[in-house]
């Protein structure tokens, strides 16, 4: 289950996610009413699955994303989780994650989440360098991150840190400092994403006006290689191109389900769902989304059924990202990728390759070659 919380205190200039500040919304889409609206959609989802005779299964992962889920009171997040538990059931070892900004949590709120069954919190650290955070429009004080991590650990939660590299004005030394600070906090999981300047964002406007420079591919490649080296030396294992963990038990099982094209239901405005090759997505803006739910209708905006070629393309596109390896049936392509240093063979699994660090930097090229 994915539950989208579309609220942010401030909209960051680089972000094109479906998020809104509190003053932009009202009615059932407001922060105060949102948990009730999401719970109503959860009930509609279970009823729709029953009507379609889709067998009920245990929910193995729940992910509260956004936006900033922890802008809502902890009691609201707990109520939404309880609705999932009542509509289906949670697996005994369910992974239950919420995203959070370091300045959006308190020790009390984190303890309340842990007591209700949440197992991990993913903090948007992004950088440890003030001028980089300022360019990204991030509002938290870097000193708040270790404090929030300590509170999460005291509550018994696993901790993930999200980092971004390639911000205009960020030097290689800046990025090294962010990695050093993150590693010093000993999180269970680290995600490191290259900055992409998305069309329509404030940052895209700043780049177009010449106020900021466009991220440089070679610079981002250098920073990815540095992240891989530092995290590996610190005992982290990469399991997906942008993700490292302290062993398999700390991998994000929720995201792995996406990469393996498993089934999920997405709740909230703009959320996507996928069951058995059928994909659909909700109304994007919170107001029409809330109106549909209040009228007793699933807030579906569109849907598609994936063809066999589409499913194959997605299998390759997502599979190459994973350290578990991906199959290559064309022996010429397989040997070529190995000879060029883009991939290595998995000795115990014939016809399976895993990307090298260089291959991870050129993953899109690998996908094109595997798909012919």
> In the listed set 244, 259, 274, which residue is the last one of a domain according to the structure?
259
Distance CA 366, CA 322 (A): 13
225 in the same domain as 83: yes
CA angle at 309 for the pair 305 and 312, rounded to the nearest 5°: 100
Joined together, the tokens standing for residue 197 give 């300047």
Burial of 297 (0-12, 13-18, 19+ CB in 10 A): exposed
Tokens of 267: 């709740």
Neighbours of 196 (CB within 10 A): 13
Residue 302 in domain: no
- 340 falls within a domain: yes
Q: What is the mean pLDDT of each run of 10 residues along the chain (372 residues)?
A: 93 85 70 95 95 90 96 97 96 97 97 98 97 93 96 98 97 98 98 94 92 93 98 98 96 96 95 93 95 97 93 91 92 95 88 94 94 88
Q: Which has the closest alpha carbon to 292: 80, 38, 69, 72?
A: 38
Query: Same structural domain for residues 156 and 224?
Result: yes
Which of 259, 283, 318 is the last residue before a domain boundary?
Answer: 259
In this structure, the answer to whether residues 238 and 358 fall within a common structural domain is no
Position 294 scores a pLDDT of: 96
Q: Is residue 354 part of a domain?
A: yes
Determine, yes or no, domain membership for 346.
Answer: yes
b/e map 56-83, b = 16+ CB within 10 Å: eeebbbbbbbbbbbbbbebebbbbbbeb
Q: Is residue 233 part of a domain?
A: yes
From 224, 259, 294, give the residue that closes a domain.
259
> Is residue 325 a part of any domain in this protein?
yes
Please check whether residues 239 and 316 belong to one and the same domain: no
Residue 41 belongs to domain spanning: 2-259
332 within domain boundaries:
yes
Backbone angles phi, psi at 77, to 5 degrees: -65, -40
* CATH for 142: 3.20.20.70
**b/e map of 274-287 (b: 16 or more CB within 10 Å)?**
beeeebbbbbebbb
121 and 215 in a single domain? The answer is yes
Distance of CA 360 to the CA centre of its chain: 18
Q: Residue 146: CB partners within 8 Å, gap ≥ 6?
A: 185
142 lies in the same domain as 244 = yes
Distance, first Cα to last Cα, the chain: 34
Identify whether residues 144 and 244 lie together within a single domain.
yes
Clarify whether residues 186 and 44 are in a common domain. yes
Task: Please state the separation of Cα 324 from the chain's center in Å.
Answer: 19
Model-level pTM?
A: 0.94
Residue 247 resides in a domain:
yes
For residue 13, the model assigns a pLDDT of 85
Q: How many domains does the chain have?
A: 2
One domain for residues 50 and 117: yes
Q: What angle do the packed helices 363-371 and 331-339 form, to 10 degrees?
A: 160
pLDDT value of position 285: 93
The set of residues, in sequence order, having a beta carbon less than 8 Å from that of 321 and lying 6+ positions away, is: 240, 241, 259, 355, 363
């Amino acid at each position: 289950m994915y539950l989208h919380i579309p609220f942010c205190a401030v909209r960051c200039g680089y972000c094109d996610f479906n998020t809104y500040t509190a003053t932009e919304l009202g009615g059932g889409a407001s922060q105060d009413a949102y948990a009730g609206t999401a719970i109503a959609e959860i009930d509609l989802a279970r009823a729709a699955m029953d009507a379609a005779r889709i067998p009920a299964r245990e929910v193995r992962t729940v992910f509260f994303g956004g936006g900033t889920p922890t802008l809502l009171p902890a009691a609201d997040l707990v109520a939404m989780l309880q609705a999932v538990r009542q509509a289906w059931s949670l697996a005994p070892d369910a992974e239950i994650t919420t995203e959070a900004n370091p300045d959006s949590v308190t020790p009390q709120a984190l303890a309340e989440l842990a007591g209700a069954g949440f197992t991990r919190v993913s903090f948007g650290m992004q950088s440890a360098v003030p001028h980089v955070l300022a360019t990204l429009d991030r509002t938290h004080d870097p000193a708040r991150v270790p404090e929030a991590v300590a509170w999460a650990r005291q509550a018994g939660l696993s901790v993930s840190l999200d980092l971004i590299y390639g911000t205009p004005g960020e030097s290689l030394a800046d990025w090294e400092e962010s990695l050093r600070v993150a590693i010093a906090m000993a999180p269970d999981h680290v995600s490191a994403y290259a900055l992409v300047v998305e069309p329509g964002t404030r940052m895209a406007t700043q780049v177009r006006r010449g106020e900021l420079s466009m991220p440089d591919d070679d610079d981002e490649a250098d920073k990815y290689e540095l992240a891989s080296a530092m995290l590996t030396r610190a005992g982290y294992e990469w399991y997906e191109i942008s993700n490292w963990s302290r062993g398999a038990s700390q991998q994000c099982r929720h995201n792995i389900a996406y990469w393996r094209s498993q089934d999920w239901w997405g709740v909230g405005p703009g959320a996507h769902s996928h069951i058995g090759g059928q994909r659909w997505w909700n109304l994007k803006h919170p107001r029409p989304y809330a109106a549909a739910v209040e009228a007793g209708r699933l807030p579906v905006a569109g849907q598609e059924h994936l063809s066999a070629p589409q499913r194959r393309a997605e299998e390759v596109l997502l599979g190459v990202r994973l350290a578990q390896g991906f199959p290559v049936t064309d022996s010429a392509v397989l040997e070529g990728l190995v000879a060029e240093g883009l991939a290595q063979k998995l000795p115990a699994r014939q016809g399976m390759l895993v990307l090298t660090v260089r291959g991870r930097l050129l993953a899109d090229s690998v996908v094109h070659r595997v798909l012919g």
